[in-house]
Structure formats: structure tokens, C-alpha cells
Structure 1
């Protein structure tokens, strides 16, 4: 058994695959994080992420899988679920070791697991698209905070660029401490010092004066359309889990 330590990036994962085939390793397992010395009878390998090695593996995957399947593999990696890297490893090795396309072979446990992860990540992506609430800052930038279960921020770029083309905006992931910034032309990944403050009231000095008015109107709208006789808390929580409420203006 050889344990390969990698940095957790998608490129690092693909580099690990390259090392496995280049070194002709048989029984292996991946571990995300810092390298440490193994037990007496266990071999270890520190994977140094290589863009060129990763590109070669990605090219190989594209010859064996459809573009949609390659994207699904990337999405599954973006989930960042603990201890799932070996399922992704198993999936990729199954791809390369098979003589035919395997992406619809749901009888294989690795294919099935990747499909399950992708479904969870896409569900979280759709929730973020619905639950993001922007607040206007004094520099005319619209700012929103989120704390998704999975690392879906890169998957939100196309949706919000298409929807808010003529506005500058930031969507910040407080859990992972990074965000995406759109300047009306391009998007980039950023980090912000003040983004660790999750309560809007503590950032009130950064918002425009009319922002509180808009928030008040938004809350009143939701209150006015609410019909107490039709209240179904169980159904409501199913569609909008409580963990998202602190970032929804109408719930604050």
C-alpha cells in the first residue's frame, strides 16, 4: 500500500494520477494535507502538483469521457467532502483501465458515488443562486455573504454574470474565506479582511444610506404576502433550511 499526499487541488489530484501510472503503483490511497512519515511497513509519496502532468492526465480523460463527464468529475472534486478523494481516484482509474466509456456504468460503485456527489453539489449551487441577497456598499458594489455546504462559488460565476451584467458585485464565502468579484467586465477570486464579520449590522458603515430602506421594504413585502392560515413550517424549512436564514434579508 502506498499513500500519496497531495495539496487538495484538482491539479494535485490529476498529478497524483500521473504519479500512480508513471510509477506503476498498484494498491494506493490518497490523502489530502501535509506529508508525514509513514509507519514501518507503509510506503508514502509526497505529490508535488505539476500543471504539465495534470494537463496530460486531463487530456487523457477527455479522450475517454464526454465533456459533460469531465465537468462532473471536476464538480465532484469541488464538493471537498472529507475522505472522498479515494472515490475520485477509483473513478479515474476505472476510466483509464476500461476499454470503453464508463460514465453511465452505475453498477460500478465509483461511478455511482461520483454521480451522488455531483447531485448534492448541484443542489447546493441552485440553492445559492436562489438565496444570495446582495446589499449595496458605498462604492456602488453589491455585496453578499454565503456559507454553502460545498465549495460552489466557482460554479456560480456564469449565473450571476449573466443576471447582473451591469453591476459590480462580490459574493463572499465566509466558511472558506474567499469570494468572487465582478467589475462589469471580468471576475476574479479575492479575499477580504472585513468579510469575517457575518452580521450585516456590524458592517452598516460600509453600506449606503438607502440600503436599510430597501431592506425594510423587502421585509415588509415578505410579511404582506405571508398567509398565516397557509403556514407550513415543515415544508418551508425543507425548501429553505435554517442554516441559510442568517444570510437572508427577510429572515434577519
Structure 2
């Protein structure tokens, strides 16, 4: 069994795709180094990220398949699901063969799998846009902590950069130790490590209590449906919601 090991970046993944195409080796998976497991049956080939090779693959996907295919590949990468690397490679092999029509072939297992991954990542992005709760810190920054299943904080940034363009804010993925930081001009994704307790602005707790009271007051007791609520707003997100 042959595994390509890359540094975990999107450029690293695309470089691995490039090498797989030109080396024509029979590889079983493309794995980020942080997810690499020791297995004496596996032959590991470490792929060094190359910006030029990555760019060529990026442009080839965009021009020879479609922009939608490029988005699908990126969403599959963000899913971090086991086997996503080899799934992307097989998808692109089909894409370079069939072109823009590749996504219409839903009878193909790889296309169906990519479609399912994209649905899950897209659905969590959509759901998370409504579940982000900011609290104001003493330094004036609006801060939100999240723990999404998939690596989607970068997908959330454009929405909040548009809606909250005159604020300084941060969305912190505490599970992955990364976050989106916005400074009223642009947003960036960086590693974030919170070592001390965050200093909440003095009147922030009062606003949170008002929000809880409002949330409770608008609830119609006769129409409360816990099962429906858990389906639309899974319990794994509740720890970061003020109202819960």
C-alpha cells in the first residue's frame, strides 16, 4: 500500500495530486501528516509542497472541469474526513476525462461520495451562520467560539466581513486551534491559542441575560418540539449558544 503524505495545506494536497498524475503510481491514499498512522504495511512517500505545481492543478481544475468542481474539491479538503484525499484524486481523474459534465454522473460512487461530502460541509456552513454568538471583550473585540465538525471557519468569514464590516471580531475554532480575525479591513486565518481567561466587557453579561429572557419570552410553550429542535440545531453546538 502506497500513501502520499502532505503537510495538511490545500497547496500541499494539490501538489500531491500533481505528483500522483505525473508519477502514475498506484496510490491508496493521500493523507495529511497530522492524520498519519503507523502501519508497517504502508509505504509512505512524503510530498513537499510546491506552489507552482499547486497552481497548475488549481488552474487545470478551473479551466478543464469547472469552478464548481474546484469548490467541490476545496469542500472535500475542508471535511477532513478519512479518505478524502484519494476521493479527491479519483474525482479529478474522472473530471479531466469527462469535463464539466462530470458531476451529472450520480450513478458513479466517487461522484456520489463527493456530492454527499459537499452537502454535509455546505449544510454545516449554512447552519453555523445562524449559530454564531459573539460576546464583547474588554478590548472591544467581538469574540465567538465554535467547534464545527468540519474546518469551515474560513467559509464563514465573507458573510461576517460583509455584515459586521465596522467591527473588530474573531471566530475561534477551539477544536482546531485556529480562527478568523477581522480588523475592519480584511480577514485572515491564523493559529489561535487562548492561555488565559477571556476578559468579558463589564455589561456583556447583562446583555446576555437580556437575550436569554427574550429567547424564553418568544417561545410558544404549546409548540415546543425538542426532537425537531435537536434535528435543526444539534446538541453538539449548544455549549457555545448563550440561550442554551
| TM-score (normalizing by structure 2) | 0.91
Contact 2:65 2:100 in 1 (8 A): no
- Structure 1, unmatched stretches of 5+, are none
Give, in whole Å, the separation in 2 of the partners of 1:37 and 1:97: 34
1:45 corresponds to 2:38: no
SS of the aligned residue for 1:132 comes to coil
Give, in whole Å, the separation in 2 of the partners of 1:106 and 1:183: 43
C-alpha displacement of 1:13:
1.6
Give, in whole Å, the separation in 2 of the partners of 1:224 and 1:44: 58
SS of the aligned residue for 1:103 comes to helix
Worse overlay, 211-220 or 221-230: 221-230
User: Per-residue displacement from partner, 1:174-231 (whole Å, max 9, x unpaired)?
Assistant: 000111111111111233332x67xxxx53xx11111011001001101111222222
Give, in whole Å, the separation in 2 of the partners of 1:100 and 1:172: 36
Superposition pairs of residues 1-252 of structure 1, within 5 angstroms: 1-33=1-33, 39=40, 43-98=43-98, 101-194=101-194, 203=198, 206-251=199-244
Give, in whole Å, the separation in 2 of the partners of 1:81 and 1:94: 20
Give, in whole Å, the separation in 1 of the partners of 2:118 and 2:14: 18
SS of the aligned residue for 2:31 comes to strand
User: Per-residue displacement from partner, 1:104-155 (whole Å, max 9, x unpaired)?
Assistant: 2212211111111010001100111000000011121100000001001010
Contact 1:65 1:103 in 2 (8 A): no
Give, in whole Å, the separation in 2 of the partners of 1:100 and 1:132: 35
Contact 2:2 2:29 in 1 (8 A): yes
C-alpha displacement of 1:27:
5.0
C-alpha displacement of 1:39:
5.0
SS of the aligned residue for 2:103 comes to coil
User: Per-residue displacement from partner, 1:25-56 (whole Å, max 9, x unpaired)?
Assistant: 2454323327799858x654211111111111
